[in-house]
Chains A and B, each alone.
Chain A
């Protein structure tokens, strides 16, 4: 058991160092306009890359996932909040899963 516990602590320490390094090291505003522009686009790129195409494999059935994605995009286009978009997508996946 000490093997597994040691391994878990190792995973935790590695992950923590990755997360904490930049936010503790970069205490000042970065002056370079290019780097600031780069960082401006990072969140949108990260979130898009995390979402697509992974979302199509999130439900165990590509068809229901595609329908759920369409529902989420539609609701988001109408500026619904996170909870409404998430619940709408879940409902569409669940209901379409009963038929597909």
Chain B
């Protein structure tokens, strides 16, 4: 049976993400309508895709009349990082959780929902995930609808400031464990260095932003898994005192 308590816990954890999603999806709603899409389709894109960079890029391609192959491949490349997240989550879900639940839980794997779920110390249950998914989906859809309908009445100074919200949440998620564990801090530093190299060195400019994340993650995690493998209790042993 699904636990109401776990669901509520998920809803509460999802609330900051919901708020952070509103200004981003607001911008998407404006962009979609300005590219000539009807309001209902903009909203449908947000509910069915639930991605930021992926749906921005795909919608721009569709507005430009691109071929389906290009649209599909671009979506694949930008969103492929979710596979790594889904794999990491799969190891935190009880083996008894049914296929039906897994099919529903998979729908809600976004950068932010993943970041919150994976840092839970307890096991990830379907009820918790549904709560954690439903609030951000609501915010993402609401923001899209508001942006599409009002076509941009949010003052630029305010929406610019709100642009930092989701990034600030990521900082709030990774700083406390980095403070406690040297290996975690090292992982973060390696990932940032690789991302910067891929982003700023011109010969790598053909690599999309989604792939930058994949490559940086794999390089950092491969190095750290070799240098500091986890112990039986599932944490990195050395450097805990740092």
Residues of chain A at the chain B interface (Cβ within 8 Å): 1, 3-12, 14-16, 18-30, 33-55, 58-61, 64-65, 68-69, 71-73, 75-77, 79-86, 88-91, 93-94, 97-98
Contacts and interface: CB of A to CB of B under 8 A. Distances in A.
B9 interface: no
A97 B224 CA distance: 39
Given A23-B86, A24-B99, A97-B160, A45 B234 contact: no
Interface in B198-242: 199, 209, 212-213, 216-217, 220-222, 224-226, 228-230, 234-236
B190 interface: yes
Given A46-B81, A94-B158, A12 B216 contact: no
Given A19-B83, A47-B174, A86-B172, 11 more contacts: A3-B62, A12-B48, A24-B99, A36-B234, A37-B228, A40-B234, A41-B187, A49-B217, A50-B213, A51-B171, A69-B168
5 contacts: A24-B102, A37-B224, A48-B195, A49-B195, A54-B167
Given A45-B221, A59-B163, A14 B72 contact: yes
Contact of B49 (A5, A15, A71): A15
Interface in B19-68: 19-20, 37-38, 41, 44-45, 48-51, 54-55, 58-59, 61-62, 65, 68
A15 B54 contact: yes
Contact of B199 (A7, A30, A53): A53
A10 B71 contact: yes
B164 A44 contact: no
Contact of B187 (A36, A45, A53): A45
Contacts of A84: 172
Interface of B: 15-16, 19-20, 37-38, 41, 44-45, 48-51, 54-55, 58-59, 61-62, 65, 68, 71-72, 75-76, 79-91, 93, 95, 99, 102-103, 105-107, 109, 111, 114-115, 118-119, 156-158, 160-179, 183-184, 187-192, 194-196, 199, 209, 212-213, 216-217, 220-222, 224-226, 228-230, 234-236
